[in-house]
């Protein structure tokens, strides 16, 4: 069998940088997103904690003689470390006494449910790194002619030709950024992967979050509700009401919250926090998180949708396209030390994505499928928000951009707004 060639990931450089600054790096993210394969590119030795036939032995050694598990050339990869949280303190101790950086890489597809026996937080010894499914640039589906980094530094130089159309974007959305699917030539088999992922979450993976056995059909119903609220600030009461209305499912808000917490712990869900800028007027800013899956294909699989279904229902397509854009923007933002937020105030003024860098620079982004009318709407929203920001107390936006699914070109409008197809963007 031919070995699949490794596709470079944006996180490769981030991992190398973090290994140069800390004794250990923890890579967290959803199963199947490529954490282990990426870590293997820089590790000199590997311990697969969950390897078939070795899991119980590794757990016992982690408690009785962890030093044996840590032996090996450095950096040493500890894959799925969370199955034995006891290793944390041992790694921290080893890092302290090794007197060198870049000693360990840990990967985890679940936040350990119980860290009560862990003594040290890892502060100063560990760096944390969030990994997501592949962006379009990483999967080879973006030309990469427009760089997010350049948008912050020299946006006057951007421009590009888009090679994607509505049909291809619909397929890429449903396929998702799962490395296994990206490499598949057979499109139908590639589309199967997201369905298989969802099934694994419902049947098995959600239990890993806290050890609680949950009814797979109930997990499925909650995921369907979450899919219907992609890009919205739905609270637990709203999701509960949606479940009751659409599925006849009676759940209290505490139970809904516990399910969502479990899905966040295994990185299925990654909500977006609200951005709170300094404004010229006293406008109340809504602080609720915006609901997103870590990959748009989770939503399409849960809802039973394929590319043709999205083409036939452009409203749903637009909502889920936003999830796709947020995924890519998060991947690209990590490369420039940025965080993706959303904005919404009491008057209903919204901005789908705000990329805020730790140096205080930020960009405002509206997501639209495309077309002159929608692009004009997005541009108008961006300009209204820009005018509200008090630039005596914070910087003006480095750029404002409408991110689209379709369109022939990436370009700057006469009013300064950039219009960029997602198929032209990279980090």
Count of domains for the chain:
2
Q: Which residues pair with 106 in a beta bridge?
A: 26, 78
Is the distance from CB of 137 to CB of 417 less than 8 angstroms?
A: no
> In the chain, what's the furthest Cα-to-Cα distance?
68
Extract the runs of DSSP E, i.e. beta strands, from 68-174: 76-79, 104-108, 126-130, 146-147, 160-161
- ∠ CA 352-358-364, nearest 5°, is 25
Of the candidate ranges 34-48, 110-124, 163-177, 358-372, the one whose mean pLDDT is the lowest = 110-124
Average pLDDT over residues 125-142: 97
Last residue of one domain, picked from the residues 81, 109, 130: 130
- Do 30 and 50 fall within a single domain? yes
Which single residue is written with the structure tokens 């860290």? 115
Identify whether 6 is part of a domain: no
Identify whether 4 is part of a domain: no
Identify whether 2 is part of a domain: no
pLDDT of residue 1: 42
Helix axes 236-247, 253-265, angle to 10 degrees: 100
pLDDT of residue 178: 98
Digit-coded pLDDT (tens) for 66-92: 999 999 999 999 999 999 988 999 999
pLDDT of residue 209: 86
- Do 270 and 406 fall within a single domain? yes
Domain housing 117:
11-130
Last residue of one domain, picked from the residues 130, 156, 175: 130
pLDDT of residue 118: 63
CATH number for 18: 3.40.50.300
pLDDT of residue 251: 76
361-389 burial code (b ≥16 CB/10 A, e <16): bbbbbbbbbbeeebbeebbebbeebbebb
- Do 176 and 146 fall within a single domain? yes
The 24-28 sheet, strands edge to edge: 45-48, 76-79, 104-108, 24-28, 126-130
Distance set, CA 225 to CA 62, 240, 302, 379, 387 (Å): 40, 9, 9, 30, 36
Separation CA 347–CA 23 (nearest Å)? 48
Distance set, CA 117 to CA 93, 133, 193, 267 (Å): 15, 32, 37, 23
> In whole numbers, what is the pLDDT of the chain averaged over residues?
94
- Do 271 and 361 fall within a single domain? yes
Of the candidate ranges 134-138, 218-222, 251-255, 419-423, the one whose mean pLDDT is the lowest = 251-255
Higher-pLDDT residue of 244 and 391 is 391
Identify whether 3 is part of a domain: no
Identify whether 40 is part of a domain: yes
Higher-pLDDT residue of 3 and 149 is 149
Distance of CA 27 to the CA centre of its chain: 13
- Do 260 and 390 fall within a single domain? yes
**Torsion angle of the four alpha carbons 160, 164, 165, 166, in this order, in degrees rounded to the nearest 10:** -110
- Do 120 and 177 fall within a single domain? no
Identify whether 270 is part of a domain: yes
- Do 35 and 171 fall within a single domain? no
Asked whether residue 2 carries a pLDDT value surpassing 70, the answer given is no
Digit-coded pLDDT (tens) for 172-227: 999 999 999 999 999 999 999 999 999 999 999 998 888 888 889 999 999 999 99
pLDDT range class, residue 99, cuts 50, 70, 90: confident
Token pair recorded at residue 397: 């936006």
Average pLDDT over residues 301-327: 98
pLDDT of residue 261: 94
The pTM for the full model equals: 0.95
Asked whether residue 346 carries a pLDDT value surpassing 80, the answer given is yes
pLDDT range class, residue 117, cuts 50, 70, 90: low
């Amino acid at each position: 069998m031919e070995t699949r060639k490794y596709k470079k990931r944006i996180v490769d450089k981030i991992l190398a940088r973090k290994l140069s600054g800390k004794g250990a790096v923890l890579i967290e993210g959803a199963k199947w997103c490529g954490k282990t394969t990426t870590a293997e590119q820089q590790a000199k030795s590997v311990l697969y904690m969950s390897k078939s036939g070795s899991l119980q032995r590794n757990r016992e050694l982690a408690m009785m003689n962890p030093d044996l598990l840590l032996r090996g050339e450095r950096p040493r990869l500890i894959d799925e470390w969370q199955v034995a949280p006891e290793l944390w303190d041992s790694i921290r101790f080893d890092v302290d006494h090794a007197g060198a950086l870049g000693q360990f890489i840990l990967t985890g597809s679940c936040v350990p449910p119980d860290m009560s026996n862990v003594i040290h937080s890892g502060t100063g010894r560990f760096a944390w790194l969030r990994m997501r499914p592949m962006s379009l640039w990483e999967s080879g589906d973006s030309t990469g002619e427009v760089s997010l980094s350049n948008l912050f530094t020299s946006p006057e130089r951007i421009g590009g030709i888009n090679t994607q159309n509505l049909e291809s974007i619909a397929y890429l959305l449903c396929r998702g950024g799962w490395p296994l699917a990206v490499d598949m030539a057979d499109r139908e088999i590639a589309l199967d992967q997201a369905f298989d992922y969802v099934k694994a979450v419902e049947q098995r993976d959600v239990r890993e979050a806290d050890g609680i056995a949950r009814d797979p059909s109930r997990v499925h119903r909650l995921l369907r509700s979450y899919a219907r609220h992609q890009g919205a600030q739905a609270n637990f009461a709203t999701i509960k009401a949606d479940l009751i209305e659409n599925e006849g499912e009676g759940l209290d808000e505490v139970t809904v919250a516990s399910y969502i917490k479990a899905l966040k712990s295994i990185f299925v869900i990654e909500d977006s926090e609200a951005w709170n800028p300094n404004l010229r007027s006293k406008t109340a800013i809504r602080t609720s998180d915006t609901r997103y899956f870590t990959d748009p294909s989770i939503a399409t699989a849960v809802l039973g949708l394929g590319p043709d279904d999205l083409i036939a229902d452009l409203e749903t397509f637009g909502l889920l396209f936003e999830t796709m854009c947020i995924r890519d923007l998060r991947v690209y933002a990590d490369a420039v030390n940025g965080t993706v937020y959303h904005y919404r105030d009491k008057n209903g003024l919204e901005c789908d994505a705000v990329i805020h860098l730790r140096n205080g620079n930020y960009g405002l982004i509206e997501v639209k499928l495309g077309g002159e009318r929608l692009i004009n709407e997005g541009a108008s929203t961006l300009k209204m928000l820009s005018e509200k920001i008090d630039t005596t107390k914070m910087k003006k936006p480095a750029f404002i951009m409408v991110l689209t699914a379709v369109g022939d070109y990436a370009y700057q409008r006469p009013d300064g707004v950039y219009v960029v197809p997602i198929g032209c963007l990279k980090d």
